[in-house]
A = this chain, B = another copy of it.
């Protein structure tokens, strides 16, 4: 395959950017990748672990020769970064991002886009509960989805190149309308994250049950919530603030349904509970059949050896 880009710049060096670098090197070692983080500490870590072919000390140096610039910063920081890099972007370059919300990112980037620069918003649906420059790995995007949103300033060539770039990282790529993306993600990601954060907060805050009891007996279901609730706090603050309407809509539906099940418990309506639980079990089956999770019990957790 002929090379899609000669030079790529990654702005922000966390879990996603570092995984893009390692996945890209696995795919095509000749692509030149420059990284930038506003934190000197992060830049030094990146240099020490060989993250990026070059780590730039300024945004200007990072982006000026890049054919593709990927903004890997929290959603709330996108506009500020875009304002700073706009004067230095190369004519014909493409801007992309990895934000978990798309309408807000489009609103942040588009007004500042130089006329000779294309914009192709992207969101790889992949991550772990870890964050920072050392948390990335080459296989993070393998067989995961990367959603690109159709956008007026993106021409077909630019969109195809970003699409092929993500395919090269191992991802499956689809295009989706930005507002629909934000609603779908509110269901599959944003609402579940807020719910997990809430449940972990409640457990930690109960007077009658001690913290140490919650920790000790977490294996009964709660520990799965704590993994989700361990995700990067700044990233998630920005996700909720920039996808307010859809998140609140889904949470409203959730509360309505929770009250309904709570009422079934209170009134002893076992039939309703059994029907509901039987149905939700089938959703799990579909997810496994779609290749989106493992069928191994407990996600195939295997960690007893660490404890011996």
Contacts and interface: CB of A to CB of B under 8 A. Distances in A.
B293 A226 contact: yes
Interface in A102-160: 125-130, 135, 137, 139, 142-145, 147
- In the complex, the count of this chain's copies comes to 2
Interface stretch (A31-39, A48-56, A269-277): A269-277
A297 B227 CA distance: 9
Contact of A307 (B126, B189, B266, B291): B291
Contact of A273 (B139, B237, B262, B302): B237
Given A230-B281, A265-B248, A139 B188 contact: no
Instruction: Give the size range of A's interface with the partner.
Output: 35 or more
B297 A130 contact: yes
B215 A187 contact: no
17 contacts: A127-B220, A143-B304, A143-B307, A145-B217, A188-B214, A188-B221, A189-B221, A198-B258, A200-B280, A203-B283, A204-B280, A215-B287, A218-B290, A224-B227, A231-B281, A237-B274, A244-B266
Interface of A: 76, 125-130, 135, 137, 139, 142-145, 147, 183-185, 187-189, 191-206, 208-209, 211, 213-231, 233-234, 236-238, 240-241, 244, 247-248, 250-251, 253-255, 257-259, 261-262, 265-266, 268, 270, 273-274, 276-281, 283-287, 290-304, 306-307
